[in-house]
Structures are given as C-alpha cells and as structure tokens.
C-alpha cells in the first residue's frame, strides 16, 4: 500500500465552465429521454428498425456502454487485486463510472423495449435459459458490486476492498461473456453464431474501457487543475496497446475462419469487400480506428510517450469499439436469413434480399442522451462525493512490486 | 395451492425479488408459468401441416389474405412494418432458373423453439399440443425472439392500428411481437386453421393440416407416402410444417 495516504476531496464545481458542462450534458440526457418517450408513445417505426432488422442503435449503445464499464472496474481493481498500487488513487472514480455506465446501459435496454412500462415483468417471470434473463441478473448484481466496492473504499475497509475487488473482476468476466453470448448463442444467424463472441467481448471491453478511462482521467484532472502524473497515463497506454493486440487476434481468427469455408463467401464478401457502409464501418471504424491507428500510435516511441498522442489513440479506440459493436449487431440482421439454401428467394417480406438499416434521428438522440447521462451523473457526483484524489502521482519510494509495470 | 395462497405467495416473492434484484425466481417462474390454456389442449395432439409446393401457384394469395382477416394482422402500407403471420415466397434453385416454386411460409411451431428459449420473460410458451404461442400481456417487446427465429416468422407491432376485423382474436397493441398461432382459437373449437380452409375452398388445395400423433390422420398418411421435408432441418429445431416438392 502507498505510504503517503491518498486524500480524496470533492471538486469545487462552481466555475462557469462546470455549470456549462452540467447544462450541456443534462440537456443531452433530457433529449435522450425525450426521444425514448417518442418511441414509447409513437411506436418503434420512428427508429430505423424494421421487422427485418429488429435491433438497432439502442442495443449497440447498450452493449457498448456495458463494455466501457468493464475497463473502469478493472482499472479500479488493478490496485486492490493486481497489486498495482500506483492506480489506487483512481479506484473510486473508476468504480463509480463503472456503475454509471452499467446503469445507463440497462436504461438503454429497457427503454428500447416495445413495452418499457412492463419493467417489473422480468422480476416475476424468469426464463433461466434466456441470456437476456440471466444477464439481467448479472448486470444488476454488477451494479450492486460496484456500489458496495465504493462503500468499502469510502470507509477504508482494506480487506473488504480486496475481496470485492476479486469478486468484481470475476463478475466482470461473467458479465461480458454473458453479453457476448446474447449473440453468440443464436444459431439462426451465421454472423452471430460463434463461441468466440464471449471472450472477444471481454477483450473489446478491456480495450475500450481502458481508453475511456485514460480520457476521463486526463480531462477530469485537467479541468480541476489537480496534478496527474503523466507516467500513469503512459502505463495505461501500454495496457491499452496490449488489449488491442488481443482484440485484433479475435477479429482476425473470427474472420479468417469464416472466410475459409465456401458457404460463407457471400457473407464475408458482403462484410469485408462490398464497399457499402457496413464494410466501411468494419475497415475504417473497427479495424482502422479501433485497432491499427491507435496501436501504431501507442507502440511508436515518438508518439507512444506523448500524453497528447495517447489521448488521440484512446479517442480512436473508443470510436473504433463503437464501430465494432455496430458490426456485431447490425450486419448479422441486414444479411437475409438462409431459409432455403441453394435457392434464390423473393417475397413481399424482403426474403432473400439485403435489408437496410439507417439510424434515425430519434435513435441518434437516444444514444447520445444515454451516453451523456453517464457523464452528467459523473460530473455531479464529483461535486458531492469525495471521489477524486487531490493528486495522483507515482510515489518514488514505492517499489514496483509486480515487475511488469514498466513498459 | 389455492388462488389466494398463490397470490400471497407471488406478492411475497415479488417483494423479495425486487428487494434484492437478484433472488433466483425459478420457483416463482414455475408458479407463474402455468399453462393458460390448461384444460383446452391435450398432449395427445401434435398439430402439424404439410404444404405441397407442386400445387401452390405463384399468383394465389388465398391463405395470406384469410390469415390477415382472421387474425387481425396489421397492414401499415409500408412493407418494412407490415405484420406477417403467413407470407408467400417464391424460390428458384440457383442451378435451375426454370424450376420456380411458390409456397407459403409461416411459423413452424418448432419442437425445440429457439424463440421460446431466448424469451427473457417466458412470454413465448408451447401449449400441450405443441403450438408455440406468445402471451401478449407478458411480452415486453425486447424482440430477442425475432433475432433467434431462423424463419423470420415473427413480426413486431410497430404502431397502433384501428383496423380490427375479427373480434374472436384479440388485437395486439404496439410494442409486442406476434406470429402465427395455427389459429389456436379455431383448433380449440374443432376447426382447422383459416389459411388451410381458404386454400381448400378457393385455392389449390395445397395444404394438409392435422394431428401428427394420430396414425390414422390424413397428414400422417400423407407424410408416410410423400416424405415431405421441414425447412432447414439441419438446425435441429424439428419444425412441424413440412414441404413437398422443394
Ligand atoms: S418458426 Fe420461429 S417463431 Fe415459430 S416456433 Fe420456430 S423459432 Fe419460434
Ligand atoms: S419480444 Fe416478447 S415474446 Fe419475444 S423474446 Fe421478448 S418478451 Fe419474449
């Protein structure tokens, strides 16, 4: 444990800049809820969803936020579980953010239902075979764990912190595997059905979550004028580069396996080579922004040490993983179901044809709003609770016990 | 358990579940999921259908029209949102463009229905006689079932509609998923599904409906003789709608 005790304090939060930020985030969140209400009162036809593509941006955003939350929780566990005491100062902020991201994700899922007013039904009526039903429990327990973790940290119950830290890491693995399984277990759709989805969800969660934390930490410390040791961001940048490699490996294996077998040629051609928006999002968004560009930035000695460049890389990853989420959810529905293999199919219900999905204005506001909600609550919480350390520095007299902390 | 006992039990259970957000509600689930059709259906029956694609013609839409009227399947004038419980599909082998077939596609009432497996609130259930149904009062409209059904047999109610042709079949409001019920309300009265009736009356007599458990039924005889196939049998769902001639 760090010798110099970390002091946490609330932020002043009385500058015009702070109020402006709160107002903007609050307004965006309201817009999000407004569009959710429109969906509720008008029906889902105001979204881009159709009978052929029944899941749209709200699901993309939900699994995106769930993923982002993993990184935060793992960061907060780095010190208590993995002995990386230099990150202890961030634990409170990170676990709060983890909880907020998950709460927002749950809201995004529920408000996307055709009948959000039936919110209590899943509590009474459980289907243990449904990944949605199981995940509902995993997610709520996760939120609970985050808050207990916070409580333990606030009350400096070191032993409890450690135990919950372990639980949290274990639970995060369940949560992300479970989220991947929502898609991976669906045998009806070639692009979903894959045992790789649960582990690759964990990997993408780690990379996007770490990237988000780097940005949140940098800007929070910068705007509050508190001291943040740049070396800490560099170390996180190193972890980020490692996580990117794992994600890239999964993406590669998944696609090379599919592309190998002739029955998948048409599908892979559509996804990788067609030049339509789905393949653009795949290559530019998921592969470019999510993997290649940030990785090059992070491992290049000229840029990898610069905080500015690390921030650029993080922003790229956060964007790239959104593209990855989109690529998981949407193309698998856009491609027609193979009901009659070896046949050309036509009907007045778009059978056999490639469907279209375009994000509507209502969905854009919805996604933006629920993402803003996270930061709206985060910024407010910083003002009312002692979450932020006065400073985050690497104490030079703490030996790096793990031996791998250097990059 | 008496009705009152059950209610109290449920209320207590509900409080506990909400309190913890976690308690595994398996017992609750079982108490709740009592088959609402109890007494009317029998596990002795197993309803199924055969479609002879050699008889079905491309320009005939008797079955789909009859279903729309019978079951109040909504039309919004926008093909992306229209409800479909049964639809006409034309299939042409990629290797033989001249050999086209027309056929109706509907819910297969799979023996192992993935739509039911994924439904988080058990709103989709299988009756004792094998008909897969949706409880519109319980469905939360999450649409996971639409993702899981390999036959695109389910549609979502995208908006409310005032059209209501048949009061025997309750209207679904926006926000829930709906699909073919094999006209369960008619079966319970001893009738056959309205698509089959329409096909027999004014169509090409391309559909056979009956009890797969009854060795003397027309459908079992037909299956023995012609060995029709289910769609995508490789998926292992054991669909109960069979096609001859594709
Ligand atoms: S055809 Fe689709 S909707 Fe019908 S039982 Fe099978 S999986 Fe469910
Ligand atoms: S949309 Fe309704 S029937 Fe379908 S999975 Fe969700 S709750 Fe079940």
pLDDT tens per residue, range B159-211: 998 778 898 898 899 999 999 999 999 999 999 999 999 999 988 999 999 99
Is A211 domain-assigned? yes
Place A156 in a pLDDT band, splitting at 50, 70 and 90: confident
- Closest Cβ–Cβ partner in B33, B156, B235 for A44: B156
What residues are paired with B133 via a beta bridge? B125
Measured from CB, residues less than 6 Å from any atom of ligand 2 are: B 118-119, 121, 123-124, 134, 139-145, 177
CB contact under 8 A, B175 and A140: no
Cα–Cα distance measured from residue A389 to residue A336, given in angstroms and rounded to the nearest whole number:
52
Phi/psi of residue B50, nearest 5 degrees: -120, 140
CB pairs under 8 A between A and B: 207
pLDDT at B119 over 70: yes
Map residue B69 onto helix, strand or coil. Answer: helix
| CATH class entry, domain B47-244 | alpha beta
Q: What is the pTM of this model?
A: 0.90
Q: Provide the CATH number for the domain around residue A179.
A: 1.20.1630.10
Predicted interface score ipTM higher than 0.85: yes
Cα–Cα distance measured from residue B43 to residue B128, given in angstroms and rounded to the nearest whole number:
5
Cα–Cα distance measured from residue A54 to residue B144, given in angstroms and rounded to the nearest whole number:
8
CB contact under 8 A, B28 and A141: no
Is A3 domain-assigned? no
Task: Give residue B138 CA to ligand 1 midpoint distance, Å.
Answer: 18
pLDDT at A71 over 90: no
pLDDT computed for residue B133 by the predictor: 97
pLDDT computed for residue A3 by the predictor: 47
Which structural domain, as residue segments, surrounds residue A26?
15-337+350-388
Is A343 domain-assigned? no
- Closest Cβ–Cβ partner in B22, B155, B235 for A51: B155
What are A362-401's pLDDT values in tens digits? 999 999 999 999 999 999 999 999 999 999 988 754 444 4
What are B63-111's pLDDT values in tens digits? 999 999 999 999 998 889 999 999 999 999 999 888 899 999 999 999 9
pLDDT computed for residue B44 by the predictor: 87
Per-window interface: A 327-386 vs B, CB < 8 A: 333, 337-351
Is A124 domain-assigned? yes
% of chain B exceeding 70 in pLDDT: 84
Nearest to A74 by CA among A149, A21, A16, A22: A149
Per-window interface: B 115-144 vs A, CB < 8 A: 117-123, 138-144
Phi/psi of residue B91, nearest 5 degrees: -120, 140
3-state SS of A111-174 is: HHCCCHHHCCHHHHCCCCCCHHHHHHHHHHHHHHHHHHHHHHHHCCCHHHHHHHHHHHHHHHHH
Better-predicted residue by pLDDT, A76 or B220: B220
**Chain B residues near residue A360 by CB distance under 8 angstroms:** none
Place A79 in a pLDDT band, splitting at 50, 70 and 90: confident
User: Looking at residue A345, what DSSP letter applies?
Assistant: E
pLDDT computed for residue A396 by the predictor: 59
Task: Give residue B174 CA to ligand 2 midpoint distance, Å.
Answer: 13
pLDDT at A11 over 70: yes
Better-predicted residue by pLDDT, B165 or A94: A94
Number of domains in chain A: 1
pLDDT at A4 over 70: no
Is A8 domain-assigned? no
What residues are paired with B103 via a beta bridge? B89
In chain B, CATH 3.30.70.20 sits at 47-244
pLDDT at A325 over 70: yes
């Amino acid at each position: 444990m760090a010798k110099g005790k970390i002091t946490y304090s609330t932020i002043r939060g009385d500058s015009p800049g702070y109020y402006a930020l709160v107002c903007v985030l609050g307004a965006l969140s309201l817009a999000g809820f407004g569009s959710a209400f429109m969906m509720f009162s008008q029906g889902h036809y105001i979204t881009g969803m159709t009978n052929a593509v029944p899941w749209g941006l709200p699901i993309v955003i939900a699994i995106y936020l769930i993923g982002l939350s993993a990184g935060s929780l793992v960061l907060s566990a780095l010190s208590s579980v993995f002995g990386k005491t230099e990150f202890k100062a961030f634990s409170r902020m990170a676990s709060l953010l983890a909880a907020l991201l998950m709460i927002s994700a749950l809201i995004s899922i529920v408000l996307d239902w055709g009948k959000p007013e039936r919110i209590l039904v899943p509590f009474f009526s459980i289907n243990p075979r449904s990944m949605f039903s199981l995940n509902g429990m995993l997610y709520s327990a996760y939120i609970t764990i985050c808050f207990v973790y916070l409580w333990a940290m606030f009350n400096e119950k070191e032993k409890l912190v450690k135990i919950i830290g372990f639980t949290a890491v274990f639970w995060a693995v369940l949560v992300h595997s479970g989220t991947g399984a929502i898609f991976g277990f669906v045998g009806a759709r070639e692009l979903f059905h894959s045992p790789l989805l649960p582990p690759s969800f964990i990997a993408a969660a780690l990379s996007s979550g770490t990237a988000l934390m780097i940005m949140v930490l940098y800007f929070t410390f910068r705007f509050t004028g508190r001291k943040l040791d740049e070396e800490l961001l560099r170390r996180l940048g190193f972890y980020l580069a490692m996580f990117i490699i794992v994600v890239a490996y999964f993406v590669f294996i998944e696609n090379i396996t599919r592309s190998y077998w002739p029955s998948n040629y048409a599908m892979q051609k559509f996804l990788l080579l067609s030049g339509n928006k789905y393949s653009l999002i795949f290559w530019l968004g998921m592969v470019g922004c999510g993997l290649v560009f940030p990785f090059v930035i992070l491992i290049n000695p000229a840029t990898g040490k610069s905080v500015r460049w690390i921030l650029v890389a993080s922003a790229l990853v956060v964007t790239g993983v959104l593209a990855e989420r989109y690529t998981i959810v949407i193309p698998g529905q856009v491609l027609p179901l193979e009901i009659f293999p070896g046949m050309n199919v036509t009907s007045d219900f778009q059978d056999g044809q490639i469907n279209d999905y375009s994000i509507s204005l209502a969905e854009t506001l919805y996604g933006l709003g629920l993402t803003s909600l996270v930061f709206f609550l985060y910024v407010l919480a910083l003002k009312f609770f002692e979450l932020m350390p006065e400073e985050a520095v690497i104490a030079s007299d703490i030996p790096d016990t793990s031996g791998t902390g250097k990059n | 358990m008496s009705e009152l006992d059950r209610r109290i039990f449920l209320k207590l259970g509900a409080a506990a579940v909400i309190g913890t957000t976690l308690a595994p509600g398996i017992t609750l689930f079982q108490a709740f999921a009592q088959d609402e059709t109890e007494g009317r259906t029998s596990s002795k029956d197993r309803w199924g259908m055969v479609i002879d694609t050699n008889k079905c013609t491309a320009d005939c839409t008797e079955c789909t029209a009859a279903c729309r009227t019978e079951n109040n399947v909504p039309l919004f004038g926008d093909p992306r949102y229209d409800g479909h419980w049964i639809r006409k599909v034309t299939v042409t082998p990629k290797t033989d463009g001249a050999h086209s077939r027309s056929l109706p596609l509907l819910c297969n009432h799979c023996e192992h229905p993935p739509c039911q497996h994924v439904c988080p609130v058990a709103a989709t259930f299988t009756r004792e006689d094998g008909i897969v149904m949706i409880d519109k009062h319980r469905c939360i409209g999450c649409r996971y079932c639409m993702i899981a059904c390999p036959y695109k047999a389910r549609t979502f109610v995208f908006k409310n509609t005032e059209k209501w042709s048949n009061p025997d079949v309750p209207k679904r409001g926006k926000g829930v998923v709906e699909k073919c019920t094999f006209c369960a309300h008619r079966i319970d009265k001893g009738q056959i599904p309205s698509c089959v009736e329409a096909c027999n009356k004014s169509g090409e007599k391309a559909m056979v409906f009956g009890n797969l458990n009854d060795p003397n039924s027309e459908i079992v005889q037909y299956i023995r003789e012609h060995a029709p196939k289910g769609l995508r049998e490789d998926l292992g769902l054991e669909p109960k709608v069979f096609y001859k001639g594709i």
